[in-house]
Amino acid sequence: RAVESQSEGQCAPVDSLWRRYSEFELLRNYLSVTYPHIVVPPLPEKRADFVWHKLSADNMDPDFVERRRIGLENFLLRVASHPVLCQDKIFYAFLTQEGGWKEMVNETGFQLKADSRLKALNATFRVKNPDKRFTELKHYSDELQSVISHLLRVRARVADRLYGVYKVHGNYGRVFSEWSAIEKEMGDGLQSAGHHMDVYAASIDDILEEEEHYADQLKEYLFYAEALRAVCRKHELMQYDLEMAAQDLTSKKQQCEELATGTVRTFSLKGMTSKLFGQETPEQREAKIKVLEEQIQEGEEQLKSKNLEGRDFVKSAWADIERFKEQKNHDLKEALISYAVMQISMCKKGIQVWTNAKECFSKM
């Protein structure tokens, strides 16, 4: 919902509009390419993963669709609360323009700026002087993903066991109820105990829904790990381009020096050609030196520009990574505390159920 006041005669922006999941993907791709130094918030999973076996993994399941809708809303809130991303015009158009939004994104030409996977892979293996901080960050993101994946698998097993416990209580309720029908003196006590068991067993759906909510909070940071690696990859690409530019400049300076002095330091095809077909004339050599000097000057300016660009990237990226870490520490702490409180509350309910059952049995 737009908050700024509208001038007279202007149409008020729409209060609601339809967006497909693919449009959210397009928005996030645009943000990732346009702001490579930012840890762009991830989208929720398109299909359910890390689910306990009693839960539907169907991506059209109404409960899953609703949880994904909540995840998409959380993505928008993350972007809207980011100090840089919230000011993007395309993001604003995504929230306010019913039609023509896709065309507006494609007109930015962001796809042309996207780095190819082959180039990124090449940079990863061929960078000679990688930044230690970004190397450590990449290892950290891998470990974060591994730990959260393991935590999600454990949580799924806990949910399975929890479901089993509640089903056992449901069975107790049914047995006590059936038993009460054939007992005269103990009938009321058994019926009451069975009722407590049934109420406890019926609460499983709400609890497991809350369980999935905590799982989704963990999954967000599972996907954030890839967003961190994307920033690392971009830095590797910039470092690779810088090293290639420096290498090219060194090579041209060496060629220029060889032409000026007439000595060849390294074996080259050109050196062999000159020996076979005779030396170049002074005029030809001067022309080549002049071209090389121009290329060297251009290369030095390019190298200076790339150095400056690299320093700016590192400064901006590291500021955003620090912001992300602060957000992550706060969110995961809150989620884990809430999860622990929920488990304690659940156990207290179980104790209360059996305390009530004990009283029912004592009165028989």
- Burial class of 23 by CB neighbour count within 10 A (0 to 12, 13 to 18, 19+): middle
pLDDT in tens, 273-322: 554 445 667 777 788 888 888 888 888 898 898 899 999 999 999 999 99
**What are the residue boundaries of the structural domains of the chain, listed by start?**
19-123, 132-260+289-363
Instruction: Give tens-digit pLDDT for 29-86.
Output: 999 999 999 999 999 988 776 665 555 555 677 878 888 899 999 999 999 999 999 9
The whole-number pLDDT of residue 319 equals 95
The predicted-structure confidence for 320-340, as pLDDT tens digits, reads as follows 999 999 999 999 999 999 999
pLDDT: which is higher, 7 or 90: 90
Count how many Cα atoms sit within 13 Å of the Cα of residue 320 in the half-sphere of its side chain: 23
Per-position b or e across 177-214, b if 16+ CB within 10 A of its CB: beebeeeeebeebbbbbbbbbbebbeebeebbeebbee
Task: Return the residue matching tokens 């290329």.
Answer: 295
Residue 245, pLDDT > 90, answer no
pLDDT band with cut points at 50, 70 and 90 for residue 8: low
- 86-100 average pLDDT score: 90
Q: Which residues contact 57 (CB under 8 A, 6 or more apart)?
A: 47, 48, 49, 51
Per-residue confidence (pLDDT) for residue 72, from 0 to 100 = 94
* End-to-end Cα distance, the chain: 62
CB count in 10 Å sphere of residue 30: 22
Q: For residues 4 and 114, which has the higher predicted lDDT (pLDDT)?
A: 114
Fold assignment, 19-123: PX Domain (3.30.1520)
pLDDT band at 94 (very low <50, low <70, confident <90, very high): very high
List C-alpha distances in Å: 88 to 13, 42, 75, 211, 324. 17, 17, 15, 35, 19
> Is the four-CA dihedral 197, 199, 205, 206 of positive or negative sign?
negative
- Two domains, one topology: 19-123 and 132-260+289-363: no
CATH of 132-260+289-363, picked from 1.10.10.10, 1.10.3720.10, 3.40.640.10, 1.20.1270.60, is: 1.20.1270.60
- The percentage of the chain sitting over the pLDDT mark of 70, rounded to a whole number, equals 87
Q: 270-289 as b/e, with b when 16 or more CB fall inside 10 Å?
A: eeeeeeeeeebeeeeeeeeb
